[in-house]
Amino acid sequence: MKHKEKKMTYIELALSSNEKLEAIMNTGTMPDVRDLAGWEFKGYNTFDLTGVLGFRKFKKGFIADTELKSATDRIKGYNLKVVQNGIIEDWIDTGAPRYAFYEVYPASQDPVENKYPNALIINYGASDKNPIYDPARFLRDYLVQVYPDNKDLFLGKAYVALGSARIFVSFFILERNNKNS
């Protein structure tokens, strides 16, 4: 009888080593954008410095401007600031406006952003909603679904884009939280 590995929870993922998370990035599956659009997800950055900087916890929202016909259609999104109250407490919106806008599409479709061909790329530089001087334009996140049978739990890996170079910043965990408002 084959031993089945216990599935990790949101909190277990958030507390995992970078090595474990990297293995999941390489084996995770590409999310279907139709499962993301219309929802906000609670997010948690694993890099400790993000707590000091005030954005360890956040929300990401995903929206579609048109009817989605394919798992790989392009969608858009945004970030929301939330109260920084620890990983086990609720994700409470601060009421601040949406910020750090992005476009989402399969990383394999982009010759520069194909670092994880099994992932979606969250490309902040592709959104014209970010002012030209906004540092968010340099962010590139890769997103995989942790388990094929769980459409609520995702792992991301954030990079800063400098030309064709990608500098790793942090892993982050996403879990479905609420419908977009």
Largest CA distance in the chain: 57
- Contacts (Cβ under 8 Å, ≥6 apart) of 40: 59, 60, 61, 62, 80, 177, 178, 179, 180, 181
Q: Over its length of 181 residues, how does the chain's per-residue pLDDT go in tens digits?
A: 454 678 999 999 999 999 999 999 999 999 999 999 999 999 999 976 555 455 689 999 999 988 999 999 999 999 999 999 988 999 999 999 999 999 999 999 988 999 999 999 999 999 999 999 999 999 999 999 999 999 999 999 999 999 999 999 999 999 999 999 7
Amino acid at 91: W
Write out the DSSP string of 98-156. Answer: PEEEEEEEEGGG-SSS-SSTTSEEEEGGG-TTS-TT-GGGGEEEEEEESSTT-TTEEEE
Asked whether the beta carbons of 80 and 40 are under 8 A apart, the reply is yes
Domain positions in the chain are 10-51+60-79+98-179
Asked whether the beta carbons of 88 and 94 are under 8 A apart, the reply is no
DSSP structure class, residue 71: T
CA dihedral for 4, 7, 12, 16, sign (positive or negative): positive
Based on its alpha-carbon atoms, the radius of gyration of the chain, rounded to whole angstroms, reads 16
